[in-house]
Structure 1
Amino acid sequence: MTGTDVQTRYFEEFADVLLRCNHLYHPSNDSIALRNAVESRRQIEIFDYSRSADAFTRAFGMRNSLKCLQALSCLEVTAHKYTRVCDLGCGSGAFSLAFAHLADNPELELHGLDISEHQLSLARELMSAAGLPGRFQFEQRNLPAQIGYLPDLTISSYWFCENERVIADPLLFDLMAGREMLIVDYEKIIDRIAASLPKGFHILARHSAHVEIPPVLADSVAQERASVYSIHIGRTKD
């Protein structure tokens, strides 16, 4: 089986997982309006999750989860080797879902952190509906802050674009990073992270790709493909 065949299988299997969660992702009038407004502006967006958590999840959650799966597969991260994972600014759990699916590891301990309790409640419901192996905990936390332990891997999707000061502050960046970090974000944010990486960290890989949206998800995602930009970072060994 070729690498392309394997990746196609990943996405077909993941589409089944997303469909199990369709009650959380099915478009609403609010989510359609939000998506149309964002796509017409074509700029980095900062959202008020206290008021629009459900609409945001329905508008972008499925697409973002597919982007995160693409980043994981493109960077050839062997997901099952990471047992302690922290999803930084996890929101409604898009990256957590993609990682847990790819890892398929009952020993996985995934800890999601976010400031929005509305988003966290959606993340808990999402992971329950998905029924993936592992132990999942979602905690309200005003980030950036000390995580409290050093994860094997920190994952993050579209958190740094809303917390750009962390990119320029080596102390804050160090607080947020695990032994490794995989970040999915806007291209200009990935460029800035790569250019501003503090001492003690190095780039393991970075990637840009297109996600081909599985046809069975087309109605919910409302597009055929999406672009994804990611960077995989490691701590420099002493």
Structure 2
Amino acid sequence: MKGVSAHYGEARVLADVSLRVGEGEVVTLVGRNGAGKTTLLRCVMGLHRRMAGTVTVAGRDVSAAAPHHRARLGLGFVPDDRGIYASLNVEENLTLPPVKGSSAWPLSRIYDTFPVLADRRRAPGAKLSGGEQQMLALARVLRTGARVLLCDEPTEGLAPLIVQQIGEILLEAKKHGVGVLLVEQNLRFATQVADRHYLLAQGRIVETLANADVRRREHELLRYLGL
């Protein structure tokens, strides 16, 4: 994205934001609550229409494209509420979205990677735990063939073992060339999976940090984030 600004009513939430995510790269977006992180993901996906600036996917300008057109070009969104269809079972949630492109994970691979989903394939979405729902949300996007994942706080409120599994899945996707833009407050988790980090403050990118910078300044950043 380049020069992106976004508003809610008269309030400006993002101001001239530019960033990029490369193929097979995990990039985190770090900032206080209310800094505009979720709005930024929604702008990339086309879900927030009051924006100016440019969003480009694989060299193609999609700034005026509807969300479903962006999805067909390879963007996949995992929202913070996970977006699980409560009345559908796990397998129906996985097979409902259309599959685009040769990079789509087949159902057999999904179940090999997410064995808990194989065990729960007939369970309604509403009956899954928070960790199982997060696994399902990630698996569903990978099955569509998305080449860029937009993940909003995927580890929030989850047990350490589930957080570790989510990290392993993101690294597996990265290994196969998938790019990830990750909104994440857990700095230690972020440094385990990400290549670099953007610090968002008051709607602007104020720093780009390497993993070494985050580790060296962890206590400072945690105080800044209010954690």
Please report the TM-score for the alignment, with normalisation by the length of structure 2: 0.37
More helix by share: 1
Structure having greater relative contact order (Cα 8 Å, sep ≥ 6): 2
Please report the TM-score for the alignment, with normalisation by the length of structure 1: 0.36
